[in-house]
Amino acid sequence: MKNTAILFFLFSIIATGFIFQSCVDEQPSYIAFDAYEYASLDANGGSWHPKLLSSGSQIGIPAPYDITSAEYQAELAALKAASAQLTGEQEEAVKYWGGDGLIRWNEIARELAAKYNLAPSPDSAGNYPAPNSADPGKYPLFPFAHPPYSCRAFAYWAATEYDALISTWYHKYNFNRPAPYTTDATIVTHLPKNNLPSYPADGAVIAAVSKAALTALFPLEKDFLAAKALEHENSLMWAGLNVQSDITAGDSLGRAVWNVVKVRAGSDGLKNAQTPRPKSDSIRDDAQARLGWHWENKETPPRPVGITPLFGKVKLWNVPDVITVRPDTPPAPGSPAFEVAANELKDISDNLTTDQRRIANFWSDGLGTYTPPGHWNRFASDLIVEHKLNPLRAARVLAYLNMAMADAGISCWDAKYFYHYPRPIQAIPGFKTILGTPNFPSYTSGHSTFSYAGATVLSHFFPDETGKLTAYAQEASESRIYAGIHYRFDVEAGKQQGISVGNFSVDVARADGGE
Amino acid sequence: MYDYTLNPYSFTNHEISLFMKIIVHYCFSFFLLFTCIVSANAQTPTDATLMTKGQICIAAIYSHDSWDEYWEGALLRTNGNIGTLTRQSITPMAILGITNRISIIAALPWMKTDASGGYIKGTSGIQDLGFWIKGKALDLVAGPGNFTTHLTLGAMQPLSNYSSDYGPYSLGLGCSELSFTGILQYKLDMGLYLRGQAGYHLRGNSSIERDYYYTTHSIYSDEVDMPDAITWGVNLGIWLFDYSLKIDGDFSGLNTQGGYDIRRQDSGFPSVAMYNSSVGGEIQYYVPGIDGFSVIANTRHVLTGRNVGKSTIYSAGIAYFFPLWKSGQTEPIIND
């Protein structure tokens, strides 16, 4: 009996510790940070050159009520009531959105990329159905947010935010309506104050652009995005930052900017990127005739078409054309240079270290994740918070980063299908990997191209971080060799391609007035 | 026929030998509930017996677990890129009688995974160290037999740094676990028994090698919150030929408490919901002429499941028990 009692006693102690641990260890679904005072306000930001609008003044908004007007006084009173006392939920929303909310929307875009990054399953007859944008809810769901889809999605979201915020800054300083808390010091605020003019509300512009752009890109998320945008806009009043007319004007400005940008999105060539099989076969046969080799999908059953064979024809953002950044022909399979690369892969695979496995997994960014461009958006978000950038300056970073990574994707895909190079599992007999081999040709490495383009652009904006960012890009690139899905020459060509692509975006940034 | 559970301290050598036989075979059931895609290892000491003080049993078991269909959520499917997934293990284990009422058990599987289809490398290595303490709580003479209850406290800890984020190729769930199992048995003096057991498994986090993953939403962490699990089982068995041969059949299962479904064409992940039910059968035979030595064979087939493989498992092993130290005077049994 005594022994049994001791057993129970020990058990209850250990169990209590365990339960305690599992309660406190709820894993975070977003990256928490404290709202900050902006490092600069960029009062001349309205004069910077947008990417797709002609200027910050292209889209007009109605002049605001004068702050002495009865209408404005009524709005002030409503704001004062809204922010005086918050419910727990409102407090949480204010803290989550942190005012402008740009970083949160970037995080939401990443989450949607991850959620939709699943390849179609074969049906019982062994055929692969394809997502259909006209019927997005029918399996396989639209979109399949693979790296090409996602890099383009991030670019449209970020470029639209940037243009919309240049317009916002233009109108803010044009109308110069002081912040409500400047006009009435008794308004309770729950976030850091700043000296930005408040009309239109930058947070509302950001919410409206995000809702419109992301709904177009992820149509099944319409309701989710509408609820998020509504909460974000409401949080601006709960926080005591903006009156209703600031928010209304911001919302309509954001929507108007997306309406300009969406014309480009509808005609940039993505629609044709996922080709029917005959076209895909002819691209393969052309490569075989030209080069003497071609890539094959090695899945069971084989997928008849690789991911977006014509993504290389999608409209570029800042690179003049893909030929400019297309690398030289890779070594032919079976050539001495190929054998060196193949032997390196076999050697690594046979002697994989713990560290190499960790690196391969850390940077895998494969199916069900936010893809390599998502990973670089995460780094950018961290740096933006660390450097306390205002939303205009933050959007500038995200816009050039994501335009460069979309250009990297387009250029890389051009090389992939132009060279149609076999993957290691196809070209090395008996070779196996520790990550799934993606459904597109090998040369050049997407991870390397995306990562070096990303590191190049972010290093321009955050020169002190160059060492760290370059190390990230290098590790991300090497990770594909450790995983067994790329040859070293894929990675090296991708690196050069990524740097060249990134520099085109840096050149545009240098000339946009925001340096 | 001796009532071995009532009077272990009065056993002769031969009688102790009989008593020991009961114990060994049940050890198998530790390994046989592992039928999940990522090999949820629901090791459950589910027997209703104890070693006598100072007795030790050493066993080694080989297990071959394979499936070519798995449940993706509720959908039973094949996957040409996996083909048949095979998980083999060799598990050394030891059971030691601390007193006549309390035994301790330890086991450490070495595993190897391999897929017949696709191009993903299998892996191999040491999996999770399991350690259990088992005590008898109740022992009553009831009619022509005995009613006993046992309680088991178990702990498991991954001993190697295998990746739990490796889909069906992973060696295990990569989390520590604390389990508590209750066992009820009614056994007739003639050797027929009916046993039921249920266990609750508290699971710690599983660490993975990336700091972002998507479950039903984004998670920014390299730690995975694991759902707890319940295991359960009912056994019907009989000892024959003066405790030389045992035949046992069972119906068992595993249910995680929480978790979520694998999405269409997504890979498995440690924290998905996992359910299964299975039928198993086992025989154990004491080889005449070698005191304390037995051979064991076991099979298990998963019948229903969710986010787990439809496994078929075959195991075989040998066990040998002997006195580790002189037993001496043991404490009297109190029927509580």
Euclidean distance between CA atoms B330 and B333, whole angstroms: 9
Q: Are B105 and B94 in contact (CB under 8 A)?
A: yes
Q: How far is A176 from chain B (nearest CA, A)?
A: 39
Query: Mean pLDDT, to the nearest integer, of A407-428?
Result: 98
Return the pLDDT at B55. Answer: 85
Amino acid identity for residue B257 in this structure = Q
What does the pLDDT look like over A289-324, one tens digit per residue? 999 999 999 999 999 999 999 999 999 999 999 999
Q: Is the pLDDT of residue B330 over 60?
A: no
- Partner-chain residue, chosen from A31, A118, A361, that has the shortest CB–CB distance to B210: A361
Confidence of residue A2 (pLDDT cuts 50, 70, 90): low
Q: Report, at the CATH architecture level, how domain A273-510 is classified.
A: Orthogonal Bundle (1.10)
Confidence of residue A11 (pLDDT cuts 50, 70, 90): low
- Residue B328 in domain: no
- Partner-chain residue, chosen from B155, B266, B334, that has the shortest CB–CB distance to A368: B266
Q: Are A244 and A64 in contact (CB under 8 A)?
A: no
DSSP letters for B137-197: EEEEEETTEEEEEEEEEEEEEE-S---S-SGGG-SS--EEEEEEEEEEEEEETTSEEEEEE
**Three-state DSSP state, A68:** coil
Residues in chain A within 8 Å Cβ distance of B212? 114, 369-370, 375, 378
Return the pLDDT at B325. Answer: 74
Tell me which of B81, B164, B218, B221 to substitute to probe the interface with A (most A C-beta atoms closer than 10 Å). Answer: B218
- Residue B214 in domain: yes
The CA-atom distances, in angstroms, between B50 and each of A121, A176, A237, A305, B156 are: 50, 84, 68, 61, 20
Which residues between 36 and 55 in chain B have a beta carbon less than 8 angstroms from any beta carbon of chain A?
none
| Residue contact B210–A349, C-beta within 8 A | no
Cβ-based neighbours of A19, under 8 Å, separated by 6 or more: B202
DSSP letters for A372-409: HHHHHHHHHHHHHHHTT--HHHHHHHHHHHHHHHHHHH
| Residue contact A140–B264, C-beta within 8 A | yes
Q: Does B84 touch chain A (CB under 8 A)?
A: no
Q: How far is A314 from chain B (nearest CA, A)?
A: 28
Residues in chain B within 8 Å Cβ distance of A349? 121
What token pair was written down for A335?
A: 């050539």
- Partner-chain residue, chosen from B209, B220, B224, that has the shortest CB–CB distance to A361: B209
Q: Is the pLDDT of residue A26 over 90?
A: no
Return the pLDDT at B53. Answer: 80
- Beta bridge mates, B116: none
Q: Does B75 touch chain A (CB under 8 A)?
A: no
Query: Mean pLDDT, to the nearest integer, of A423-439?
Result: 98
Mean confidence (pLDDT) of chain A: 96
Residues in chain B within 8 Å Cβ distance of A431? 119
Alpha helices by DSSP H, A267-390: 277-291, 336-350, 354-362, 371-386
Q: Does B111 touch chain A (CB under 8 A)?
A: no
What global pTM score does this model have?
0.92
Return the pLDDT at B135. Answer: 92
Q: Is the pLDDT of residue B65 over 60?
A: yes
Confidence of residue A50 (pLDDT cuts 50, 70, 90): very high
What token pair was written down for B133?
A: 């303490």
Query: Mean pLDDT, to the nearest integer, of A131-153?
Result: 97
Return the number of CB contacts < 8 Å for A and B: 137
The nearest alpha carbon in chain B to A15 belongs to B178
| Residue contact B221–A433, C-beta within 8 A | no
- Residue B3 in domain: no
Query: Mean pLDDT, to the nearest integer, of A360-380?
Result: 98
Q: Are B148 and B118 in contact (CB under 8 A)?
A: no
- Residue B314 in domain: yes
Euclidean distance between CA atoms A129 and B124, whole angstroms: 36
More confident residue, B32 or B142: B142
The nearest alpha carbon in chain A to B180 belongs to A11
| Residue contact B209–A349, C-beta within 8 A | no
Q: Where in chain A is the domain with CATH 1.10.606.20?
A: 46-266, 273-510
Query: Mean pLDDT, to the nearest integer, of A9-14?
Result: 56
What token pair was written down for A63?
A: 């002049």
Tell me which of A121, A142, A351 to substitute to probe the interface with B (most B C-beta atoms closer than 10 Å). Answer: A121
The nearest alpha carbon in chain B to A423 belongs to B119
> What length is written for chain A?
515
Q: Is the peptide bond before A278 cis (omega within 30 degrees of 0)?
A: no
Please count the structural domains in chain B. 1
Euclidean distance between CA atoms B169 and B118, whole angstroms: 12
What does the pLDDT look like over A76-118, one tens digit per residue? 999 999 999 999 999 999 999 999 999 999 999 999 999 999 9
For the domain that residue B36 is a member of, what is the CATH number?
2.40.160.40
Which residues between 257 and 316 in chain B have a beta carbon less than 8 angstroms from any beta carbon of chain A?
263-267
Euclidean distance between CA atoms A436 and A432, whole angstroms: 9
ipTM > 0.85 (yes/no): yes
Residues in chain B within 8 Å Cβ distance of A361? 163, 165, 208-210
The CA-atom distances, in angstroms, between B94 and each of A104, A491, B76, B106, B158 are: 54, 51, 37, 5, 18
Residue the block writes with tokens 């545009």: A508
| Residue contact A361–B263, C-beta within 8 A | no
Query: Mean pLDDT, to the nearest integer, of B36-60?
Result: 58
What does the pLDDT look like over A467-510, one tens digit per residue? 999 999 999 999 999 999 999 999 999 999 999 999 999 999 99
Return the pLDDT at B322. Answer: 86
Query: Mean pLDDT, to the nearest integer, of B16-28?
Result: 42
Return the pLDDT at A238. Answer: 98
- Residue B330 in domain: no
Q: How far is B261 from chain A (nearest CA, A)?
A: 14
Q: Is the dihedral of CA A492, A497, A503, A506 positive or negative?
A: negative
Q: Does B219 touch chain A (CB under 8 A)?
A: yes
What domain range includes position B24?
8-323
Longest Cα–Cα distance of chain B, Å, equals 63
Torsion angle (degrees, nearest 10) of CA A146, A147, A151, A153: 0
Q: Does B69 touch chain A (CB under 8 A)?
A: no
Q: Is the pLDDT of residue A256 over 60?
A: yes
Residues in chain A within 8 Å Cβ distance of B137? 4
Break chain B down into helix, strand, coil percent, rounded to 5: 5, 55, 40
Class of domain A46-266: mainly alpha
Amino acid identity for residue A34 in this structure = D
| Residue contact B264–A18, C-beta within 8 A | no
- Residue B2 in domain: no
Q: Are B150 and B135 in contact (CB under 8 A)?
A: yes
The nearest alpha carbon in chain A to B262 belongs to A368
Cβ-based neighbours of A209, under 8 Å, separated by 6 or more: A157, A160, A161, A164, A254, A255, A257, A258
